[in-house]
Amino acid sequence: MSSSIHFTHAITRRPAPSITAGLRAVDTGTPDLALMQAHHDAYVATLRETGATVVELSALDAYPDSVFVEDTALCLPEGAVIMRPGAPSRLGEAAEMAPHLRALYGQVVGITGQESFIEGGDILVTEREILVGRSARTNAAGIAELTALVAPWGHTVREVHTPPGVLHFKTDCSLLDVDTILSTKRLSASGCFAGYTVIDVADGEEAAANTIRFNDLVLLPEGFPRTRDAIAAAGFSVREIGNSECAKLDGGMSCLSLRFTPRA
């Protein structure tokens, strides 16, 4: 079974009241905490519906963006790598996540270089490689350190580039199955997905590119009907989840969980 789309575990964290002060590239309004929590509850319930064990951590009011747990770690079957976020206000989030991963993994390592920055939102794991996008939050030093850490586990890292003005690499792409990637046209046109089957999101629906394939379901943010239909037409089971409030903070489906199957 593919370790890049089938998972036994997920970790999420409840949104904190301080989420209204979360980072955002463009201010499109203050998130509604109650609505965000309702969307988050639906997200967690959907993950559990697939049979996965979901660890839902308590809110961290000291870290407004801590609901976006994906940026704190990379979880592989062999072990977990604690990230070093490129946003200074988020550095403490990674330290908060570490003990929870140590409870589930025999091997937990970390990015430690003072010049190294890397966030999970820039990392796309496929069956054949780990693609890491250079961005404002992930630099060459962080990618080099990650490459050295995962090599003993048999993983190969390929550095790619996040489109200008895009927060994270996975803002513009996601893995649908071992050979298929959902992508914006601006990213797929770069040629970084040569050798994969690519489904481009519909024009004007670029925010739909950040989905997750979790076991037998593709979780897609609500409001992108043409992309939803294209994914369904390709044979995937799609579940739409409300994401309007997280989207105000540049967050999507992948940002809200760490997904993994720890190897015994």
* CB distance 213 to 177 below 8 Å: yes
Query: Which strand ranges, in their side-by-side order, compose the sheet holding 130-134?
Result: 123-125, 130-134, 157-161
CA distances to 101, 170, 215, 231, 260 from 75, rounded to whole Å, are 9, 16, 16, 26, 6
> Is 161 annotated as catalytic?
no
Q: Which member of 39, 155, 168, 246 is catalytic?
A: 168
Q: How far apart are CA 23 and CA 133, in angstroms?
A: 20
> Is 168 annotated as catalytic?
yes
* CB distance 10 to 214 below 8 Å: yes
Q: How far apart are CA 31 and CA 52, in angstroms?
A: 28
C-alpha dihedral (26, 31, 35, 39), degrees to nearest 10 = 40
Q: Looking at this protein, which amino acid is placed at residue 87? A: A
Q: Which member of 75, 173, 192, 255 is catalytic?
A: 255
Q: How far apart are CA 136 and CA 117, in angstroms?
A: 9
Three-state SS at 200: strand
Catalytic positions? 168, 255
